[in-house]
Amino acid sequence: MGNCVFCEIVKRVQSAYIIYEDDKVMVFLDKRPYNPGHLLVIPKEHYTDIFDIPDDLLAYLITIVKKMSNVVKNALNASGIRLVQNNESSAGQVIFHFHFHIIPYYDTIDFPTDKQSIADILRKWINETKGIPNH
Ligand SMILES: [Zn+2]
């Protein structure tokens, strides 16, 4: 889809700190994080919102959201995780390519908060656990 920044990230026309990808999904750091480690989980194929994403893809996506929530919780020692998913501009959707936000919360932040360091920590965690752990 033209002019879609997330499709451009999938095609690697735009850069992003990509944490995980497979044939269906991509996970990367939010460009303007609410908190350090704020992730976006998107389908690689372009769907606008909850109203047009197919059920089976949505079901798969939420399993990745769960796994990545565990990665953030454990790798960055988050005390809590907020999930956000906005549909239509009136509800705060800014990029019109379906996405989940994974927003971690912390009691204390004990890691470097620049994006490169966070990406390295998360990628290392996934590599060492040989895939995305469930818990
Ligand atoms: Zn798109």
pTM value? 0.95
The rounded Å distance from CA 63 to ligand 1 centre is 21
Q: Please write the tens of the pLDDT for every residue from 76-132.
A: 999 999 999 999 999 999 999 999 999 999 999 999 999 999 999 999 999 998 777
Q: What per-residue confidence (pLDDT) applies to 131? A: 72
Q: What per-residue confidence (pLDDT) applies to 132? A: 76
Q: Please write the tens of the pLDDT for every residue from 9-45.
A: 999 999 999 999 999 999 999 999 999 999 999 999 9
Answer yes or no: are the C-beta atoms of 132 and 68 closer than 8 Å.
yes
3-state class (DSSP) for residue 121: helix
The rounded Å distance from CA 17 to ligand 1 centre is 17
Q: Is 99 tagged catalytic?
A: yes
- Output the six-digit token pair for 117: 């360091």
Which residues face 23 on adjacent strands?
Answer: none
Read off the pLDDT of each residue in 48-58 and give the average, rounded to a whole number: 98
The rounded Å distance from CA 122 to ligand 1 centre is 24
All structural domains of the chain, each given as residue ranges with its CATH number in brackets, are: 5-128 (3.30.428.10)
Helices and strands of the chain, counted as H and E runs? 3, 5
- Output the six-digit token pair for 75: 């790798």
Q: Out of 38, 46, 97, 99, which one is annotated catalytic?
A: 99
The rounded Å distance from CA 68 to ligand 1 centre is 21
Does the structure show a pLDDT above 70 at 133? Answer: no
Predicted confidence band of residue 47 (pLDDT cuts 50, 70, 90): very high
